[in-house]
Amino acid sequence: MHFSTETGHPTLADLFLTPPAAVESSALDAIEQAADRVLGEIGIRFQDPDSIERLKAAGGAVEGDVVRLDGPGLRRIIRASAPERFLLRARNPARDTPVGGAGAPVFAPVYGAPDVLADDSVRQRGTLGLYERLVAECHLSPALGNTGQMICVINDIAEADRPLQMLRAHLSFSDKPFMGTVASAAATRDIIDLTAQAVNRPAAERECNLLHLINCTPPLTYWESPLQCLRVVAEAGEASMVSSYMMMGATGPATAAGALIQGYAEVLAGMALAQLWRPGAPVVMGILAWPFDMRSMLPNFGDPVSQSIQLHAGALGRRLGVPVRADGAVTSAKVDDAQAGADGGRVLSAAVSSRAGFVLHAAGWLEQGRCISIDKLRRDAAMISRSCFPAALPCEPPLPLDAAIDAEIRDRLSGGRGRGTA
Amino acid sequence: MHFSTETGHPTLADLFLTPPAAVESSALDAIEQAADRVLGEIGIRFQDPDSIERLKAAGGAVEGDVVRLDGPGLRRIIRASAPERFLLRARNPARDTPVGGAGAPVFAPVYGAPDVLADDSVRQRGTLGLYERLVAECHLSPALGNTGQMICVINDIAEADRPLQMLRAHLSFSDKPFMGTVASAAATRDIIDLTAQAVNRPAAERECNLLHLINCTPPLTYWESPLQCLRVVAEAGEASMVSSYMMMGATGPATAAGALIQGYAEVLAGMALAQLWRPGAPVVMGILAWPFDMRSMLPNFGDPVSQSIQLHAGALGRRLGVPVRADGAVTSAKVDDAQAGADGGRVLSAAVSSRAGFVLHAAGWLEQGRCISIDKLRRDAAMISRSCFPAALPCEPPLPLDAAIDAEIRDRLSGGRGRGTA
């Protein structure tokens, strides 16, 4: 943590960073060894022939759509080329954010909420108008270094148009970095191209413009679309956040140790595949798991077992040399009450202590993520600012979007849509 | 953290403990060296001639009531005899709790609240009736291993009678361990004697019956009464929680590093003095600091800078080989809202991550500790149970208090009061 009130004896500078959680290396060894057994004896299902071929060429043993893999070999592939830290760039160079390394994490808002609770406390389905407002809110918040993606679902726009509409909102109402789409391989490529035009600076090694949420579908499966998106993203030199988001007792083991083992096996395979498509492609590792309540049939967001899992995921990532993802102020609470506060405060503490590089769902989350609240987004952002943001960026309006790019997006949305999403 | 849902691969057992915060040893070196300069060049004010004599005999340089001390020497004294772990015993041996070492911390309720918010949400001045109810609440909570002391102020009883009335409440409405009084040296001795009768088992080395809150009065001063109590406590082989509770910018430096340095110097002196009075007397180290808001003239409980201070205090204590104190679910919020939840959740996370041995103010705290809420006590206790309590103790009524001891307390309260508090 950095604190602006510090006036600083230089030899004490390291005091102002939250110490990382010190996990026993024997525990990490045990997780790695068990994950290697899962990879070698059970394998991972890849629902995409190209990915299977690529893994086979790298030594994987293919049987149907299951590939049995060599864990230590995957770690060697990742360590050989995946960057420990990379620069996620913005339309406004002053807003570029490093991801990974020793600094404070990058915080991004909720991803994927169907509903929005606006500040008149009326809950409504997400719309384009609300989406634009949410991007503007995130832009104004010094705590949020990234305006995310699919902050809410845009229910009033045809699904095929949503990636471009979201792009236009992120580019028009903010000049901070944001996340890419994974709606389809074609849409992913489309958004990568347009964003590159908007950023309009040549990218050096370990620099990119978009971070993409590439989800494994636990247990031990990658679906076709995320695999195709992963390839597009990696080959473009853009960043993938390869994540296993487990429901403990449903899509993952009920125990913390079991979830760590399964999740680590899953994300090792995905991150190595990204390196095989293009060595050096930035990846962020996410191993997240929440207990699943068999009575409510809902995950129990905020349960402390997940804090322990996050602390271990952070240590596994440091050992591997890749930035790590964390959850932010998540909760199962339906309103922003003491439970929401306590859950979010503890999960945020674990995110910071785990030395995560990127915190998704950092602010605004209510009710298992089914709703984003603008009031809570502001409260969570204030908590993040007080907790670990080194220095507030000046709160300025975004630079105006280049008219040609705006016209290009509008053009693709009306007549020329086929070009992008065909 | 331990989770009862774990079924456990034994080699993964260490997964289920929250990793301690890993503080850079260079940062700890810097704090120690700076504290040694404070001790050696400025010294500590002791407002008690006996304490000054004792420190002088151990090599301190006395000038008026200020004693300049040798920091490395104080650490040697503490390391030579203070236990890393001790057993705090109860009237019911099944309720004995270890303090320090690798297990979960002991959690105790708020200490010192003038007001009580009972569950009809009416705020009232603390009374004996409410005190008894608070002890019973703490007894019923599996999260709280200790029923504390002065949970609320007993405003309806004469001050001189309060230590005995509190003792009677802790012994009658619970059979868990509790804390001693520091109202005066005589009262401290009185309560130690009566508690020993109630526990009624010979104490081995590193076993005691009461933990006493011995406060430094920062900056760099110990008042007369805590010093006299410290001597009584140590000579009886009972435990002292030697604490510096700083208001950053008022009674301590405004920076985290400065507060750690001042606080460490202060508690080193107090803990060493306890060892000089009786080598081996159990001590718990508390370095706590909250930013002081010059506009409201109130401390800002819940500010994240204090989490960082706690993590470093934990590491300093491990290095010294003594158990460490932490704050629990504290907040500046006046009601148990999202702010109270978030503040408490984060402070509790830091307490657990710092590997504290004893968490005071763990549950019930509202409004800078000026009020204890029974509803919040229950909510905080539930959060603690979910966060880090290994196994719930059976929730049973307390063993009946021995009639002779009850009669003895009653006797001292009526006619024979002079015996105890003279």
Residue that terminates a domain, selected from B49, B80, B111 = B80
Q: Are residues B209 and B257 in the same domain?
A: yes
Torsion-angle region of B296 (φ positive above 0: left; ψ -120 to 50: alpha; else: beta): alpha
Q: What's the CA gap between B343 and A346, in Å, rounded?
A: 9
Candidates A20, A343, A388; nearest CB to B22: A20
Cα angle: B145, vertex B355, A390; to 5 degrees: 130
The answer to whether residue A264 sits within a structural domain is: yes
Q: Is the pLDDT of residue A116 over 50?
A: yes
Q: What's the CA gap between A305 and B16, in Å, rounded?
A: 9
Q: Is the pLDDT of residue B376 over 50?
A: yes
Side chain identity at residue B336, one-letter code: D
C-alpha distance from residue A47 to each of A52, A262, A316, A369 (Å) = 8, 18, 27, 27
Q: Is the pLDDT of residue A2 over 50?
A: no
For the stretch A46-99, pLDDT in tens is 999 999 999 999 999 999 999 999 999 999 999 999 999 999 999 999 999 999
Do residues A383 and A343 touch, judged by C-beta distance below 8 A? Answer: no
Q: Determine contact: A341 vs chain B, CB below 8 A.
A: yes
Phi/psi of residue A358, nearest 5 degrees: -145, 125
pLDDT band at B137 (very low <50, low <70, confident <90, very high): very high
Q: What's the CA gap between B170 and B138, in Å, rounded?
A: 10
pLDDT band at B304 (very low <50, low <70, confident <90, very high): confident
> Chain A residue closest to B382 (CA)?
A339
Total domains in the fold of chain B:
2
- Rounded mean pLDDT, B216-223: 98
Residue A88 pairs in a beta bridge with A97, A208
**What is the Rg, in whole angstroms, of the alpha carbon atoms belonging to chain A?**
20
Phi/psi of residue A82, nearest 5 degrees: -70, 135
For the stretch A173-212, pLDDT in tens is 999 999 999 999 999 999 999 999 999 999 999 999 999 9
Helix, strand, coil share (%) of chain B residues, nearest 5: 45, 20, 35
The answer to whether residue A38 sits within a structural domain is: no
Across the interface, whether the CB atoms of A21 and B312 are under 8 A apart is answered no
Q: Tokens 């950053």, residue?
A: B248
- Rounded mean pLDDT, B385-398: 72
Q: Is the pLDDT of residue A23 over 90?
A: no
Q: Determine contact: A150 vs chain B, CB below 8 A.
A: no
Number of neighbours of residue A117 by Cβ within 10 angstroms: 23
Across the interface, whether the CB atoms of A18 and B346 are under 8 A apart is answered no
Do residues B323 and B85 touch, judged by C-beta distance below 8 A? Answer: yes
Nearest-CA distance from A41 to chain B in Å? 19
Q: What's the CA gap between B185 and B51, in Å, rounded?
A: 14
Instruction: Quote the pLDDT of residue A216.
Output: 98
Closest CA to B327 of B289, B367, B270: B289
For the stretch A381-402, pLDDT in tens is 999 988 765 555 667 889 999 9
The answer to whether residue B402 sits within a structural domain is: no
CATH number at residue A108: 3.20.20.480
Q: Is the pLDDT of residue B215 over 70?
A: yes
Residue A66's Cα: distance from chain center in Å?
Answer: 26
Candidates B12, B16, B338; nearest CB to A338: B338
Q: Are residues B73 and B132 in the same domain?
A: no
Nearest-CA distance from A5 to chain B in Å? 7
Q: Is the pLDDT of residue A160 over 80?
A: yes
Cα angle: B409, vertex B412, B415; to 5 degrees: 140
Across the interface, whether the CB atoms of A5 and B260 are under 8 A apart is answered no
- Rounded mean pLDDT, A331-335: 95
Across the interface, whether the CB atoms of B308 and A20 are under 8 A apart is answered no
The answer to whether residue A5 sits within a structural domain is: no
Q: Which helix (H) or strand (E) holds B116?
A: strand B115-117
Q: What's the CA gap between B189 and B205, in Å, rounded?
A: 20
Percent of chain B with pLDDT over 70: 91
Across the interface, whether the CB atoms of B9 and A30 are under 8 A apart is answered yes
Q: Are residues B76 and B93 in the same domain?
A: no
Q: Determine contact: B414 vs chain A, CB below 8 A.
A: no
Across the interface, whether the CB atoms of A255 and B350 are under 8 A apart is answered no
> Chain B residue closest to A29 (CA)?
B12
The answer to whether residue B8 sits within a structural domain is: no
Q: Are residues B44 and B91 in the same domain?
A: no
Question: B124: helix, coil or strand?
Answer: strand
Percent of chain A with pLDDT over 70: 91
Cis check for the bond before A219: say yes or no (omega within 30 of 0). yes
Across the interface, whether the CB atoms of B346 and A343 are under 8 A apart is answered no
Whether pTM exceeds 0.90: no
Q: Tokens 């997240």, residue?
A: A288
Instruction: Quote the pLDDT of residue B385.
Output: 86
Do residues A124 and A88 touch, judged by C-beta distance below 8 A? Answer: no
Q: What's the CA gap between B113 and B365, in Å, rounded?
A: 8
Structure-derived torsion over alpha carbons of residues B323, B74, B290, A16, reported in degrees to the nearest 10: -90
Instruction: Quote the pLDDT of residue A414.
Output: 87
pLDDT band at B294 (very low <50, low <70, confident <90, very high): confident
Q: Is the pLDDT of residue A17 over 50?
A: no
- Rounded mean pLDDT, B12-18: 41
The answer to whether residue A168 sits within a structural domain is: yes
Q: Tokens 């002292």, residue?
A: B240
Q: Are residues B177 and B165 in the same domain?
A: yes
Q: Is the pLDDT of residue A273 over 90?
A: yes
Do residues A242 and A274 touch, judged by C-beta distance below 8 A? Answer: yes
Q: Are residues B174 and B102 in the same domain?
A: yes
Across the interface, whether the CB atoms of B19 and A16 are under 8 A apart is answered no
Nearest-CA distance from A365 to chain B in Å? 13
The answer to whether residue B340 sits within a structural domain is: yes
The answer to whether residue A70 sits within a structural domain is: no
Q: Determine contact: B386 vs chain A, CB below 8 A.
A: yes
Q: Is the pLDDT of residue B364 over 90?
A: yes
Q: What's the CA gap between B379 and A341, in Å, rounded?
A: 12
Nearest-CA distance from A275 to chain B in Å? 29
Q: What's the CA gap between B321 and A112, in Å, rounded?
A: 48
Q: What's the CA gap between A251 and A263, in Å, rounded?
A: 10
Counting one residue from A and one from B, how many pairs have CB atoms under 8 Å apart? Answer: 195
Q: Report the range of poorest mean pLDDT among A102-111, A264-273, B8-17, B350-359.
A: B8-17
Q: What is the mean pLDDT of chain A?
A: 91
Question: A337: helix, coil or strand?
Answer: coil
Q: Are residues B245 and B314 in the same domain?
A: yes
Nearest-CA distance from B19 to chain A in Å? 5
For the stretch B222-237, pLDDT in tens is 999 999 999 999 999 9
Q: In the 8-state DSSP scheme, what is residue A354?
A: T
- Rounded mean pLDDT, A136-161: 96
Q: Determine contact: A343 vs chain B, CB below 8 A.
A: yes
Q: Determine contact: B20 vs chain A, CB below 8 A.
A: yes
Q: Which two tokens stand for residue A290?
A: 């929440």
Percent of chain A with pLDDT over 90: 82
pLDDT band at A102 (very low <50, low <70, confident <90, very high): confident
Do residues B134 and B172 touch, judged by C-beta distance below 8 A? Answer: no
> Chain B residue closest to A304 (CA)?
B387
Q: Is the pLDDT of residue A9 over 50?
A: no
Pairing of the two strands A358-360 and A325-327? parallel
Say if residue A239 is exposed, middle or buried (CB neighbours under 10 Å; 0-12, 13-18, 19+): buried
pLDDT band at B421 (very low <50, low <70, confident <90, very high): very low
Across the interface, whether the CB atoms of B12 and A23 are under 8 A apart is answered no
Where is pLDDT greater, at B62 or B24? B62
Q: Which two tokens stand for residue A243?
A: 């994540």
Q: Determine contact: B15 vs chain A, CB below 8 A.
A: yes
Nearest-CA distance from B45 to chain A in Å? 26
Question: A328: helix, coil or strand?
Answer: coil
Side chain identity at residue A350, one-letter code: A
C-alpha distance from residue A165 to each of A158, A187, A226, A230, B402 (Å) = 10, 12, 21, 22, 76
Instruction: Quote the pLDDT of residue B5.
Output: 32
Q: Determine contact: A1 vs chain B, CB below 8 A.
A: yes
Residue that terminates a domain, selected from B43, B62, B80 = B80
Across the interface, whether the CB atoms of B12 and A383 are under 8 A apart is answered no
pLDDT band at B359 (very low <50, low <70, confident <90, very high): very high
Number of neighbours of residue B224 by Cβ within 10 angstroms: 15
Cα angle: B38, vertex B42, B43; to 5 degrees: 85
Interface test with B, best of A5, A14, A308 (most B CBs within 10 A): A308
Q: Which helix (H) or strand (E) holds B195?
A: helix B185-199
Q: Are residues B47 and B172 in the same domain?
A: no
Q: Are residues B73 and B89 in the same domain?
A: no
Q: Which two tokens stand for residue B336?
A: 């148990």
For the stretch A373-382, pLDDT in tens is 999 999 999 9
Where is pLDDT greater, at B419 or A50? A50
Across the interface, whether the CB atoms of A256 and B3 are under 8 A apart is answered yes
Q: Are residues B41 and B178 in the same domain?
A: no
Instruction: Quote the pLDDT of residue A387.
Output: 78
Q: Which residue range(s) make up the domain with A407?
A: 81-390+402-413
Across the interface, whether the CB atoms of A3 and B336 are under 8 A apart is answered no
Across the interface, whether the CB atoms of B349 and A307 are under 8 A apart is answered yes
pLDDT band at A337 (very low <50, low <70, confident <90, very high): very high
ipTM given for this complex: 0.83
Across the interface, whether the CB atoms of A9 and B30 are under 8 A apart is answered yes
Q: Are residues B69 and B147 in the same domain?
A: no
Q: What's the CA gap between A313 and B105, in Å, rounded?
A: 24
Q: Are residues B244 and B255 in the same domain?
A: yes
